[in-house]
Structure 1
Amino acid sequence: MPLSLATFSTANAIKPAYDPASLEIGVVHFGPGAFHRAHQAAYFDALVATDKRWGICGVSLHSTGVRDALAPQDGLYTLGILDDEISYRIIGAVREVLVAPEDIEAVFRRLRQPSVKIVTSTVTEKGYCLASDFSLNLKHAEIAHDLAHPRTPKTVIGYVTEALRRRRAAGFPPFILIPCDNLPKNGERLKAAVVTFASQLDVKLSRWISDELLCPSTMVDSITPATDDDLRRRVAAATTLEDAWPVQREAFSQWVIESHAHQDGPDWTSVGVTLTDNVPAYERAKLRLLNGPHSALAYLGLNRGYANVSEAMNDAELADVIRRLMIEDIVPLLEAPDGLDLIAYSEDILKRFHNPAIVHKLSQIAWDGSIKLPIRILSSLGEALDQGRDISRLCLPLAAWMRFVRTKAVAGEEITDPLGRELFAIGQICQDDVTDVALFLAIRSIFPAHLANHPSVVSQIETAYIALEGYTRRR
């Protein structure tokens, strides 16, 4: 039978400790994809067991997929926890999914309601429409559209700004805005983007947002492989109910939120959320020690012909490179948050990478390299150079990414990246020698001049690029 409110009580799974139909919607989330439903929604699902105010309205800015899958299931879905023992949990916190382009006013009606006190987002780094310096890119096509048509926006920036305008006009306080994407200082930068956007339309609104809007920075972490038909089959077999769009993640989950004064807000710490005054330290540790090596493993692993993370980690030589990258090259650059041992944290991450229950595709991790690499790898590379440290291993993933782009272009395959067309064109004219490196280093939105022109950086990337040539063929 299909999963629904009428059938979920029969599931062979952990069931909601509340009546899902009784929940109030107090959270609006932009981007209700797999990560949100496996991560933040699971925390809210734990919260609503004792406080029914925190049901979720998901808002999709583009696709109808999540809405179409969950609507027949009354918003319910299955979360698979992949560890030594695999378990399944029915999540009931998502009570509504709206597809913004189909009914823009429905989204604004929900955002305007005083009961909505939290707005969260997982729209990927590129979804915030920021320039290379992390300021709002006013020349971005969709931002330009939203400024010209603020009542019918396309971006999360446009929706948030217009919703805040309507709340202010009605005499309601702003909601708290909590971004959950891998973006350094994500709260600070999202608020600055909203304030900048509003200033182009209404200076008084911009000042009100600047003075009143809380937008804490966050760090989120849990490896979440994409849903596939194999997961659907396993969920149906284990739970006895058919689920159109289950999600899966590892057992480890972390949500760190900047401490903030939220009157009558959720009891965050009761469900395992960490509140701290030093999010940047957690953020840097995660971005550099998990996300950076994840990207490195993706490009190096694909170059060696592997398909997923655990498979690549079974290559002893590659696993040793990743471990030394973390322990010897990245840890010395970081400040440890209180209570966090960076060496132990790194070893725990390596164990997570080895988890055979997680089939995390390297091809998925490799998406959007032009945005991810500056944050995940180049930030460490720049600091290592400043400190006179060895940069050879930090240059390996950059060379492997260049190989990845060239391989995709030569095969005529689409490159999933905001710069996909430009990268495809570069890949097609590569000569398979060191001259290729200069073509990539000339992309200023990825490689700043002080790194792209540094002799040691150029030399190390060129050496790695040649060393990686034809590796898969030699295996």
Structure 2
Amino acid sequence: MFTTTSTATERLSLASLASISGREGVSGPAVDPRALSTGMVHFGVGAFHRAHQAVYTEDAAAASGDTGWGILGVTGRSARVAEQLRPQDGLYSVLTKARGSESLRVIGSLRKVAFPGADSEDVLQALSSEGVHLATLTITEKGYPRTPGGQLDVSHSGIAADIAALREELAGRSFAGPARTPLGLLGRGLARRFAVSGAPIAVVCCDNLMSNGKVTGSLLRAFAEAAGAQGLLEWLQNSVTFPSTMVDRIVPATTDANRLEAERILGVRDEGLVVAEPFGQWVIEDAFLGPRPAWELAGATLTQDVAPFEVAKLRMLNATHSLLAYLGALRGYPTIADAVADDALVREARQLQRDDVIPTLSAPVGLDLYEYGESILTRFANPNLGHTTIQVAMDGSQKLPVRVLGTVADRLRAGDVPYSAALLLAAWMVFIYRGRDVNGKALALDDPMADALREAAAGSEAGLADRLLSLSSIFPEEVSTHVDFRGAVASSVRRLLSDVA
């Protein structure tokens, strides 16, 4: 919650919109929130969604005049976002920070917020409504419980509980209690829709996963199959599409200083504030059976093939982000912008892009990959964002397989050792092993595999690379057993351990 000293007694809300209208530096909402009806359900109503898809959706409504795309946002395991936004009637603002300027925009496309622990039934009812045509997701990589082989992890306690709940609902057609996972809640909602009307729907994954639409579709079909729901499985195959997407916008954690700045501009308190860079990109596979927002009118790219955009972004931008995060954190840099100010780290970033990543890519039409790499570094250098190295370093066990291991595998198949990618993995390993930066400050390991990672890292420095590379849940055999690559990682580990000693 809002913890700094606040002078405003009034919260941002529908009632306070009139008082902020016309204030200098404030814009929006682009559409009257009261006019919007719910047309989509979004899972993972965190900062990224609020700064990205929700903005595109509001802009699409404004450009097309179609007010049927209000959003029901579903929180994760915590009710915090619901507690922030419900008193504000779903309203929040986006503080856009360029290098030398900022602007504030109020967004009204998020019309309701549900917490699964208390509101699962409301979400199920919404997904069964024929007025809802889309379910979208930003639940992060760890929100998709998978085995090392990529299948649905039915042994995951939350997934197992949701499968049991779906079986119970199918048997009795009654609510079986709160969902435990986003995929489980979505799967149960789709089952409710199938039972009520069978109307088609699109499920749009917006997470950083390769072929994210195919992954989501495969997991949801496996969920239905595990519950013994053959009719639902057939309907998922015939009436539900899973468009792949690529999303891009830097959205750092909101600070108390950001909130005070927004309060000064708005004249009211906004506990749902998000911060973002000016840049935004959304590439969407045009695979919809029913209505959708006119996102292309808001600047999104609709295409038949997202893959070239997706791979370029994951391997260029996201991998570079991770490299700078781990190397920067080890050197004691609090933000990504601080890391980019270090010429040595910029050289490492360029080398990763040019020597290891670009040779594995097929550039999307109109994209110069070398210019794209430089634009990434320019964006990362924005000092006003305050994007912390620790924030980017989160969930490395989930992020690195999709950000860098594809590059590694492709280079090894081509007969080349990707030394910069080896450095990235080594920096992650030393981050885990040392747990502190060059100044002795603790580095938090925020990762769903934190205990397993610490256990594997424990031991001698000499065997660190081998121990972590042996984690089969992270590293495929073709990577972990390649002698020259193991040697390259181990060499970089030794160098980094010496640097942060």
- Aligned to 2:74, the other structure's residue is in SS state strand
Q: What residue number does 2:61 align with?
A: 48
Q: Is 1:245 the equivalent of 2:283?
A: no
Q: 2:238 aligns with which of 207, 211, 214?
A: 211
Q: CA deviation at 1:265?
A: 2.4
Cα distance in 2 between the residues matched to 1:78 and 1:114:
30
Q: What residue number does 1:103 align with?
A: 119
* Equivalent pair of 2:125/2:192 in contact (CA under 8 Å): no
**What letter is aligned with 1:26?**
G
Residues 422 and 390 (structure 1), Cα distance of their counterparts in 2 relative to 1, 3 Å cut: closer
Q: 2:450 aligns with which of 395, 398, 420?
A: 420
Cα distance in 1 between the residues matched to 2:142 and 2:379:
27
Match runs of 1:337-356 below 5 Å: 337-356=364-383
- Aligned to 1:469, the other structure's residue is in SS state helix
Q: Is 1:2 the equivalent of 2:11?
A: yes
- Aligned to 1:90, the other structure's residue is in SS state strand
Q: Is 1:27 the equivalent of 2:54?
A: no
Q: Deviations over 1:11-66 (max 9, x none)?
A: 33112133212210111101100000011011111123221100111111311111
Q: Deviations over 1:145-187 (max 9, x none)?
A: 1111224432222222222222222224132100110011111
Residues 448 and 172 (structure 1), Cα distance of their counterparts in 2 relative to 1, 3 Å cut: closer
* Equivalent pair of 1:164/1:174 in contact (CA under 8 Å): no
Q: What residue number does 2:81 align with?
A: 66
Q: CA deviation at 1:124?
A: 0.7
Q: CA deviation at 1:136?
A: 1.2
Specify every segment of 5 or more residues in structure 2 that has no aligned partner in the other structure, as ranges: 1-9, 167-175
Q: CA deviation at 1:413?
A: 6.9
Q: Deviations over 1:161-214 (max 9, x none)?
A: 222222222224132100110011111111111111111221121111111111
Match runs of 1:293-308 below 5 Å: 293-308=320-335
Q: CA deviation at 1:264?
A: 3.3
* Equivalent pair of 1:298/1:365 in contact (CA under 8 Å): yes
Q: Deviations over 1:59-105 (max 9, x none)?
A: 11311111111111111111011113211100011110011111221
Q: 1:459 aligns with which of 456, 468, 487?
A: 487
Q: What residue number does 1:430 align with?
A: 459
Q: CA deviation at 1:452?
A: 1.5
* Equivalent pair of 2:37/2:67 in contact (CA under 8 Å): yes
Q: CA deviation at 1:412?
A: 8.3
Q: 2:150 aligns with which of 119, 128, 134?
A: 134
Q: What residue number does 1:449 align with?
A: 477
**What letter is aligned with 1:199?**
E
Cα distance in 2 between the residues matched to 1:261 and 1:214:
6
Cα distance in 2 between the residues matched to 1:93 and 1:367:
29
Match runs of 1:30-429 below 5 Å: 30-49=43-62, 50-84=65-99, 85-150=101-166, 151-152=176-177, 153-200=179-226, 201-408=228-435, 415-427=445-457, 429=458
Q: After alignment, is 273-282 or 126-135 more displaced? A: 126-135
Query: Over aligned residue pairs, what C-alpha RMSD do you find?
Result: 1.7
**What letter is aligned with 1:437?**
A
- Aligned to 1:81, the other structure's residue is in SS state strand
* Equivalent pair of 1:61/1:154 in contact (CA under 8 Å): no
* Equivalent pair of 1:82/1:249 in contact (CA under 8 Å): yes
**What letter is aligned with 1:399?**
A
* Equivalent pair of 2:337/2:381 in contact (CA under 8 Å): yes
Q: CA deviation at 1:470?
A: 4.1
Q: What residue number does 2:172 align with?
A: none
Count of paired positions: 471
Q: After alignment, is 412-421 or 117-126 more displaced? A: 412-421
* Equivalent pair of 1:38/1:224 in contact (CA under 8 Å): yes
Q: CA deviation at 1:430?
A: 2.7
* Equivalent pair of 2:431/2:443 in contact (CA under 8 Å): no
- Aligned to 1:338, the other structure's residue is in SS state coil
Q: CA deviation at 1:385?
A: 1.4
Cα distance in 2 between the residues matched to 1:148 and 1:412:
41
Specify every segment of 5 or more residues in structure 1 that has no aligned partner in the other structure, as ranges: none
* Equivalent pair of 1:131/1:137 in contact (CA under 8 Å): yes
Q: Deviations over 1:310-345 (max 9, x none)?
A: 000000111111012112321111011122221121
Q: What residue number does 2:171 align with?
A: none
Cα distance in 2 between the residues matched to 1:205 and 1:167:
10
* Equivalent pair of 1:278/1:337 in contact (CA under 8 Å): no
Q: Is 1:17 the equivalent of 2:30?
A: yes
Cα distance in 1 between the residues matched to 2:350 and 2:442:
33
Q: CA deviation at 1:362?
A: 0.6
Q: Deviations over 1:222-241 (max 9, x none)?
A: 01101121110111122222
Cα distance in 2 between the residues matched to 1:212 and 1:109:
19
- Aligned to 1:208, the other structure's residue is in SS state helix
Q: After alignment, is 125-134 or 212-221 more displaced? A: 125-134
Superposition TM-score, scaled by structure 1 size: 0.96
Q: Is 1:439 the equivalent of 2:467?
A: yes
Q: Deviations over 1:258-308 (max 9, x none)?
A: 112444322121111111112111000000000011111111111111111
Q: Deviations over 1:88-127 (max 9, x none)?
A: 1000111100111112211111211111111101111111
Cα distance in 2 between the residues matched to 1:138 and 1:129:
8
Cα distance in 1 between the residues matched to 2:123 and 2:295:
26
Q: Which aligned runs of 4 or more in structure 1 are off by greater than 4 angstroms?
A: 409-414
Superposition TM-score, scaled by structure 2 size: 0.91
Q: Deviations over 1:419-440 (max 9, x none)?
A: 111112233x232x32121111
Q: 2:496 aligns with which of 458, 468, 471?
A: 468
* Equivalent pair of 2:417/2:485 in contact (CA under 8 Å): no
* Equivalent pair of 1:219/1:279 in contact (CA under 8 Å): yes
**What letter is aligned with 1:171?**
S
Cα distance in 2 between the residues matched to 1:225 and 1:39:
13
Q: CA deviation at 1:9?
A: 3.2
Q: What residue number does 2:7 align with?
A: none
**What letter is aligned with 2:56?**
Y
**What letter is aligned with 2:459?**
C
